[in-house]
Amino acid sequence: MKKNPLFLFLFFLIKFSGAQSLSPQIISTSGTSFTNSSAQLDWTLGEPVTSTLSNSNNLLTQGFHQPNLLTSSIDDVPADYSITIFPNPTVDFLQLQIQNVLNQVLVVDLYTVEWKLLKSRQINSSTHLQLDMTEYNSGTYLLLIKNNSAQNKSFRIIKSN
């Protein structure tokens, strides 16, 4: 009795196929890995070219170790003052309305996304501040507001033309 060749092919395909397991690997001229109870250090030598490629599902960075990524967020500490910022996005001036500033000194700092300080203002008792944004290029900026009790608020500001 002849066996169906398709059946045999499928049998061997199922029998000898397995799930593929990928782990991060790097090929370099030198390097090593150190691990202890609190940290892991991986280094390599001889990676003259690096590039990052991505699509909607994958991220490939050539030349760097890629462990499982962990993310964390930084939350603002609840402050005993409140601030309203408008318009955001802005074209020319950014308005800040501050409530409950009672006997506090607030420092308003404007940064680029690379944390370069562009502007710093101190507010003693006023309830309104206007920041001139006309001199800056279109893009994203960070506004950090601090009081003397280290209660910070941060805002992402969008500047458009």
**Domain around 141:** 82-159
More confident position, 142 or 71: 142
27 inside domain? no
138 inside domain? yes
* Residues in Cβ contact with 9 at an 8 Å cutoff, skipping those fewer than 6 apart: none
Would you state the pLDDT for residue 93? 93
Q: In whole angstroms, what is the distance from residue 59 CA to residue 5 CA? A: 41
Would you state the pLDDT for residue 58? 66
33 inside domain? no
pTM of the model: 0.51
Would you state the pLDDT for residue 142? 92
CATH number of residue 92's parent domain:
2.60.40.1930
77 inside domain? no
pLDDT for 33-42, tens place per residue?
778 887 776 6
Considering its fold, how many domains does the chain have in total?
Answer: 1
